[in-house]
Structure 1
Amino acid sequence: MTFYDDIYPFYPLQRTAFIFSGRLLTIILVFLVLAVSLLLILPGIRGKSRLFWMFRILTSLFIGVVIVALNFTSDWAEGRVTTNATYKSFSDAVVNVDIGLHVGLYGINVTLRGNPVVQLNETINYNEMFSWQDSIEKDYEEALERGLPNPILYIAEKFTMHSPCGLIFQYRFSGRYASATLWTAFCCWMLTNILFSMPVILYAGYMMLATAAFVFFSMASFSTAMNAPQCVFSLGSDSFVTAYSHSFWLALATGTVLTLVVLLNFLIPEKMKEAFSVGVDSDENDRYSYGNGYVNSVFVDGVIIYPMTSKFSAVSRWI
């Protein structure tokens, strides 16, 4: 790479998948390894407890990976449109493109794909990440220096500090509180798994309810930005606004499942104890009878021997 008038002829691409990023893949792989490691002990569990234990482990790990992954997804809200728009600055060239905006808790992804992909002798297929965790202004300045297409720059400018829409203040603070409550829900989830290993699942049910509550709190925090006056993104002859997307509905489903488990614990506690393998060992032990014990009379002169049963031990009394 050489210089031409102190300007790089090529710029590094800042492309990030808006659904499966490297962080998400790492989280999923960690939980998959943990799930496989726990399932390896299934052959050592006898009876129907094996199925209950497997269902409990898989459900718990699914909830855990969802809570962690929701912090790093970029599709809590999204909007998209297909339109004819100018492609570059200082040019009247118009291209037909699909434009998408994907909002997460730490930033946004802007996607731009041509119809067809190759137009004006260029491949129009962009996926750019703008993060407000540090400063979105720096990312926007770098996008200007790289000469990104006009639709991407237009959407990114709406999230800068000087934009009259004020989107950066809405989404940055709501995303910050939503992320904090999700991490709190993850801590409650870990305490729930610890308490489930104890004989009484009442306290585990309380922590599960707390987990569901913090998941709902994260949704409520993010909803504050969505309930504010919506900024309209006008591109070409069309426009769009953002709406709730996959991550938001996945958080709702996770919180609903946690709440449902807690309700079932109050409605059918005995069935839930059996499902979570609480009290199973004591029930199985009651099925076995040890019968009467035998004691050699040679060694017990002067001692009265009472028969031994499964519930009473031998009692001896000196005469």
Structure 2
Amino acid sequence: MTFYDDIYPFYTLQRTSFIFSGRLLTSILVFLVLAVSLLVILPGIRGKSRLFWMFRIITSLFIGAVIVALNFTSDWAEARVTTNATYKSFSNAVVNAEIGLHVGLYGINVTLKGNPVVQFNETIDYNEMFSWHDTIEEDYEEALEKGLPNPILYIAEKFTLNSPCGLIFQYKYSGRYASATLWTAFCCWMLANILFSMPVILYAGYMTLATAAFIFFSMASFSTIMNVPQCIFFLGTGSFETVYSHSFWLALATGLLCTIIGIVVVLLNIVIPEKMKEAFSVGVDSFEDEDVCYGEGYLNSTFLDGVTTSPPPSKALTVS
């Protein structure tokens, strides 16, 4: 099996970790490039405002990166259990393994890691993705053709249309609405950044609060899966149920951060509006037309060399 780099021949692609999917890694790299590009201009900013701009750039890009990344993470909810379970179909072989279920907005990941990893002269370390963009049936059929271990097939079958648990309807639609509201929050975040660069700081604060509101809406949408009867997974001698995981709590923290920033901006804009405009470098011009005072002007004789000027014409005096 070394010729295939420890991957069975019937796997067409190398299996990757669910934590760093391709789309998630792309989103992180894009925001890292933006952060580096914007931080390069900091040396050109003078005074104490340099620290404020650095804090503003880092905070804003952190919020935007989290909103985008949450759409592609696979750990909004998860469940784990270490148990003894049958390994393959039509076999009495029992393995001790850690089985994990990781739920995202676009599908699930099922992991199976042996304890120890090498058992029955095989490396038991599986990480399988099942997506429900349309239905999960095709992915499940491919898993059957590959001959994946029983625990993975058992969990995947719970999310098929024919399963009496009906998990596909709970997780698919809640994830779809959660993703839609997250992208709306991302649009609000972009509008807030645009408004922060204009002399309308109050509305920028309102859009930051709108960003927080849509993040909370996405959490509320995903939370609906906990309001229906939960399907218990029985695997060998153990069982488990899904609970909220890292991405859910990260969304909560980001929403609270946007709420705090929005409230602070709105209150400070009401109390000290001129100071806020000065802090964000969007104040009105300090010189108005009616306040402009021009000093005494002088002529440079160097530029007047060779220039002849004629005296103003004098009126002839007539003597009557």
Q: Same fold (TM over 0.5)?
A: yes
C-alpha contact 2:208 2:262 (8 A) present in aligned 1: yes
Q: Deviations over 1:207-252 (max 9, x none)?
A: 1111111100000000001221111000011100000000000000
Q: Which has the larger displacement, 67-76 or 10-19? A: 10-19
Shift of residue 293, structure 1, vs aligned partner: 3.5
Residue 90, structure 1, aligned to residue 98, structure 2? no
Which residue is equivalent to 2:106? 106
Unmatched tracts of structure 1, length 5 or more: 1-7, 297-319
Which residue is equivalent to 1:176? 176
Aligned pairs (5 A) from 1:121-140? 121-140=121-140
CA RMSD of aligned residues (A): 2.3
**2-side partners of 1:70 and 1:177: how far apart?**
13
Which residue is equivalent to 1:202? 202
Q: Deviations over 1:97-144 (max 9, x none)?
A: 000000000000000000000001110000000000122100000000
C-alpha contact 1:15 1:129 (8 A) present in aligned 2: no
Q: Which has the larger displacement, 182-191 or 267-276? A: 267-276
> What is the TM-score when the length of structure 2 is the normalising length?
0.84
Q: Deviations over 1:67-122 (max 9, x none)?
A: 01111100000000000000000011101000000000000000000000000111
- Residue 58 of structure 1 aligns to a residue whose secondary structure is helix
**1-side partners of 2:233 and 2:241: how far apart?**
6
**2-side partners of 1:295 and 1:63: how far apart?**
53
C-alpha contact 1:233 1:240 (8 A) present in aligned 2: yes
Between the two proteins, what is the percent identity of the paired residues? 77
Cα pair distance change 1:70/1:276, threshold 3 Å: farther
Q: Which amino acid aligns with 2:276?
A: K
C-alpha contact 2:202 2:266 (8 A) present in aligned 1: no
Residue 120, structure 1, aligned to residue 120, structure 2? yes
Divergent runs of 4+, >6 A:
280-283
Q: Which amino acid aligns with 1:19?
A: I
C-alpha contact 2:209 2:263 (8 A) present in aligned 1: no
- Residue 111 of structure 1 aligns to a residue whose secondary structure is strand
Aligned pairs (5 A) from 1:1-319? 10-12=10-12, 15-269=15-269, 270=272, 273=276, 276-278=279-281, 293-294=295-296
Which residue is equivalent to 2:3? none
**2-side partners of 1:9 and 1:263: how far apart?**
57
Unmatched tracts of structure 2, length 5 or more: 1-7, 299-320
Cα pair distance change 1:13/1:81, threshold 3 Å: farther
Aligned length: 285
- Residue 126 of structure 1 aligns to a residue whose secondary structure is strand
The structure that has the greater radius of gyration is: 2
Shift of residue 65, structure 1, vs aligned partner: 0.6
C-alpha contact 1:185 1:214 (8 A) present in aligned 2: yes
- Residue 110 of structure 2 aligns to a residue whose secondary structure is strand
Q: Deviations over 1:178-232 (max 9, x none)?
A: 0000111111111111000012201111111111111000000000012211110
C-alpha contact 1:14 1:129 (8 A) present in aligned 2: no
Shift of residue 17, structure 1, vs aligned partner: 1.6
Q: Which amino acid aligns with 1:167?
A: L
> What is the TM-score when the length of structure 1 is the normalising length?
0.84
Cα pair distance change 1:9/1:75, threshold 3 Å: closer
